[in-house]
């Protein structure tokens, strides 16, 4: 049996004498115990990060195990691969016809010599047809042509990515967000027509063929197979730029709607990087806009912290997730000053965040002091604002403005939760209010303690009103109404009150 240590494993201070029962002492104080727990947590994170930094590709039953350099997200499935497996994976996806819009690529580290050198999508904040930079992919095997044309296009307001063969061109067009592709047909590895056909199977990016082949058959074949324009070498740079802008303008005319998010309150223009709430411009930083854009375009769906780090910050694996939390906090403070409110960004604890679009006919609720409210309290205030200000149930009068309840002219004192409970039941118009809905709206959760608290509040409310039959129990099995207090809690579906009458 191992002899227990007499020194603290954290600070090496002497330990108190060990008890005869229980586990041997390892720490001299709660402070050292907490420090050891934090250290174990850091070591576990480091171990998990080390595993994630190894290529997950399985070859013939053996894991690749090389250093991860790319992160691929295909139809929402995350894959981490090395530089060698990167090219093979992209070729497989292209041959299988997986559309480029379903694939997201993020560079984790510098690409090795075996890769195509494509490290991720362009990050350009502009509207292509407004005279700003065009994102251009130039596929040309002649070094002299590339070295002559690329600087000219850069000076004319383009950002050009040039590659020398068809395979690299397909990969670059597949993983980058481009405005136009300039394609030569005479490529060393793959014929340009074949590149065009494969590209058209996975992407609808505009393609202009720039080739020395000037025969009618070649032009007809390229245009038939998906080219948007055809220009025969030699050509004038001004004519090439005019054709590029024309095809981009024609292409983006049908995409502007997709780049504008509008739910009636929030409007985001992804081209101009402008945000408006209820017609008022919202000033955001570039990071805040990208964060809100990612959440809004996936409204109602939880976006994981890892996905937000990759899509908003482009961070490699192991990045600090706290930066997402801080960015969401700053964004909430700005939204809190608008009609949208900070509660539109909802936290999914342990998972991520989601954007909850506003109800089309619902305005933001404010208290009499003008302070915005959210969550279940806002829901209760919304009911108060939407319903009549006085609800009459026989001898019972509920004044929603003064927060008073009178029975036969006598005021009945109620707690805040009791009044909210009575308000929801009385304002339901005779409909059944489920236990789950009551717990969520008033208590904020559906736990065991809250469920017992609801039973107590229902019983107290019946007693204070002096009319137990007004609050009817609806059973879960047959949903028949009952006033028996003996109805088991696990069989209770909800509660209802008679439809109010004589409201004013």
**Which pLDDT value is given to residue 292?**
92
Helices 166-175/83-96 angle, 10° precision: 80
Name the token pair of 32.
Answer: 């050292």
Q: What is the pLDDT of residue 60?
A: 67
Q: Looking at 226-356, which runs of residues are DSSP E strands? A: 229-232, 260-262, 266-269, 274-277, 280-281, 303-304, 345-348, 352-355
Q: Which residue has the higher pLDDT, 214 or 18?
A: 214
Tokens of 391: 């609800």
The whole-number average pLDDT for the span 164-175 is 91
Q: What is the pLDDT of residue 381?
A: 47
**Contact at 8 Å (CB) between 163 and 181?**
no
Name the nearest CA neighbour of 56 among 259, 263, 317, 231: 317
The predicted model gives 24-31 an average pLDDT of 84
Q: pLDDT band at 76, cuts 50/70/90?
A: low
- pLDDT tens digit sequence for 208-238: 999 998 899 999 999 998 899 999 988 899 9
What local confidence, expressed as pLDDT, does residue 17 receive?
78
Is the pLDDT confidence value at 319 over 70?
A: no
pLDDT in tens, 387-424: 446 777 777 887 766 677 888 888 888 887 788 888 88
352 — pLDDT class (breaks 50, 70, 90)? confident
pLDDT exceeds 90 at position 344 = no
Whether the predicted pLDDT of 431 surpasses 70:
yes
What value does the mean pLDDT take over residues 15-25?
75
Give the torsion sign (CA, 44, 45, 46, 48). Answer: positive
468 pLDDT more than 50: yes
Give the mean pLDDT of 20-36: 82
Alpha-carbon distances of 25 from 1, 12, 29, 36, rounded to whole Å: 15, 12, 10, 13
For the cut 60, the answer to whether the pLDDT of residue 477 exceeds it is no
Total number of residues shown for the chain = 504
Of the pLDDT bands very low, low, confident and very high (cuts 50, 70, 90), residue 481 is: very low
212 in Cβ contact with 189 (< 8 Å): no
Confidence of residue 191 (pLDDT cuts 50, 70, 90): very high
Share of residues in the chain with pLDDT > 90 (%): 17
Decide if pLDDT at 335 tops 80: yes
- Local structure of residue 26 (DSSP, 8 states): -
Tokens of 288: 């805040």
- pLDDT of 363 > 50? The answer is no
- Say what the pLDDT of residue 119 is: 41
Q: pLDDT-derived band of residue 476, with 50, 70 and 90 as boundaries?
A: low
pLDDT at position 314, please? 65
Q: Which whole number is the average pLDDT over 1-30?
A: 76
| 132 confidence band (pLDDT: 50, 70, 90) | low
- β-pair partners for 12: none
Q: What is the pLDDT of residue 125?
A: 36
pLDDT at 194: 93
Lowest-pLDDT range of 78-92, 100-114, 174-188, 446-460: 100-114
Let me know: does 282 contact 261? Beta carbons within 8 Å: no
- At 212, list the tokens: 């020395």
In this predicted structure, the answer to whether residue 147 has a pLDDT above a threshold of 50 is yes
Contacts for 176 with CB less than 8 Å, ≥ 6 apart:
118, 120, 121, 122, 135, 137, 161
Q: State the pLDDT at residue 165.
A: 92
- pLDDT for position 3: 53
Residue 371 pLDDT exceeds 60: no
Q: What is the pLDDT of residue 193?
A: 93
Q: Would you say residue 163 has pLDDT above 90? A: yes
The pLDDT value given to residue 23:
75
pLDDT at 388: 47
Q: Is the pLDDT of residue 342 over 60?
A: yes
Q: Are 466 and 406 in contact (CB under 8 A)?
A: no
State both tokens at 52. 């994630």
| Mean of pLDDT values over 180-202 | 91
Q: Residue 16, exposed/middle/buried by CB under 10 A (0-12, 13-18, 19+)?
A: exposed
Given pLDDT bands bounded at 50, 70 and 90, which one contains residue 365? very low
Choose between 455 and 446: higher pLDDT. 455
pLDDT at 447: 66
In SS3 terms, 130-193 reads as HCCCEEEEEECCCHHHHHHHHHHHHHCCEEEEEECCHHHHHHHHHHCCCCEEEECCCCCCCCHH
């Amino acid at each position: 049996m191992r002899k227990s240590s007499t020194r603290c494993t954290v600070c090496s201070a002497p330990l108190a004498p060990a008890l005869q029962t229980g586990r041997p002492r390892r720490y001299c104080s709660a402070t050292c115990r907490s420090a050891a727990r934090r250290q174990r947590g850091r070591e576990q994170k480091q171990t998990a990060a080390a595993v994630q930094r190894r290529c997950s590709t399985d070859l013939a039953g053996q894991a690749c195990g090389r250093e991860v350099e790319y992160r691929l997200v295909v139809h929402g499935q995350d894959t981490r691969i090395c530089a060698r497996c990167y090219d093979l994976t992209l070729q497989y996806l292209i041959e299988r016809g997986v559309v480029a819009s379903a694939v997201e690529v993020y560079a984790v580290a510098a690409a090795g010599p075996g890769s195509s050198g494509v490290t991720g999508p362009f990050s350009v904040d502009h509207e292509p047809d407004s005279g700003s930079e065009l994102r251009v992919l130039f596929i040309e095997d002649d070094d002299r042509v590339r070295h002559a044309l690329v600087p000219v296009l850069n000076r004319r307001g383009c950002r050009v990515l040039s590659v020398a063969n068809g395979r690299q061109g397909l990969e670059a067009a597949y993983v980058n967000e481009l405005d136009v592709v300039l394609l030569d047909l005479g490529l060393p590895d793959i014929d340009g027509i074949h590149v065009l056909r494969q590209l058209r199977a996975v992407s609808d990016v505009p393609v202009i063929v720039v080739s020395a082949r000037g025969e009618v058959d070649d032009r007809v074949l390229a245009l038939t197979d998906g080219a948007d324009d055809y220009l025969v070498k030699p050509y004038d740079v001004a004519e090439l730029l005019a054709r590029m802008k024309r095809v981009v303008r024609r292409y983006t005319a049908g995409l502007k709607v997709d780049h504008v998010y509008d739910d009636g309150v929030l409007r985001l223009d992804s081209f101009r990087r402008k945000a408006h709430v209820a017609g008022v411009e919202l000033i955001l930083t570039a990071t805040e806009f990208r964060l809100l854009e990612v959440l809004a375009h996936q409204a109602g769906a939880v976006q994981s912290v890892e996905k937000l780090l990759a899509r908003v910050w482009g961070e490699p694996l192991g990045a600090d997730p706290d930066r997402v939390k801080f960015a969401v906090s700053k964004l909430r403070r700005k939204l809190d000053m608008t009609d949208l409110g900070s509660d539109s960004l909802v936290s999914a604890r342990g998972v991520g965040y989601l954007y909850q679009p506003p109800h089309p006919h619902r305005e933001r609720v404010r208290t009499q002091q003008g302070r915005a409210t959210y969550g279940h309290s806002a829901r209760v205030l919304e009911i108060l604002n939407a319903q009549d200000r006085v609800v009459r149930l026989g001898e019972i009068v509920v004044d929603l403005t003064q927060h008073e309840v009178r029975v036969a002219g006598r005021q009945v004192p109620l707690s805040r939760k009791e009044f909210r409970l009575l308000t929801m039941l009385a304002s339901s118009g005779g409909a059944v209010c489920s236990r789950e809905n009551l717990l969520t709206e008033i208590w904020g959760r559906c736990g065991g303690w809250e469920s017992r608290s609801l039973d107590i509040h229902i019983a107290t409310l019946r007693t204070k009103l002096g009319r137990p039959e007004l609050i009817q129990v609806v059973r879960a099995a047959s949903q028949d109404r009952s006033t028996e207090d003996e109805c088991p809690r696990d069989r209770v579906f909800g509660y209802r009150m008679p439809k109010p009458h004589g409201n004013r």
